[in-house]
Amino acid sequence: MQELYALKDLKRIYPLLVGNLREDEELGKLYGDFFKGQCVPKSPAIAVQSVEDKLTEHMGRAGKPTVSTLTEEDVQVGNVVKAILKFQGVFLRGVASEAVDKAVQNVHELLGGPR
């Protein structure tokens, strides 16, 4: 991801941040706050070589540089998750049906659809 972003080939990073789902007697299913609910996945401080190998393969096929400028620390799973979370996408929060509808609308607008 970082390689494509640095090359300006990655146009959008728009994570869908889903809070914990709970049941409310009056409102039905509700999504909580992604960050307050500690929903960020626990990610290990390891680099996955097979992922790096596939990236090199895909970059080469696309005619992009295949030598990474990233450090091993940059490509550790936990650091990649942190890099993605710097881009605040859309939050699934509140009444479930409304939250899903809002998320779909936000993605649709991001892709150039009518508002």
Mean pLDDT per 10-residue run, the chain (115 residues)? 71 86 95 93 86 84 79 84 84 92 88 72
Specify the length of the chain in residues: 115
Contacts 24+ apart (CB under 8 A), 35-40: 40/81, 40/85
Q: What is the reported pLDDT for 115?
A: 60
Give residue 90's region: left, alpha or beta (phi > 0; psi -120 to 50): beta
Predicted confidence at residue 24, as pLDDT, reads 94
Query: Beta-strand (E) ranges in 14-110?
Result: 16-18, 21-24, 28-31, 90-92, 94-95
Q: What is the pLDDT of residue 85?
A: 87
pLDDT, position 114: 67
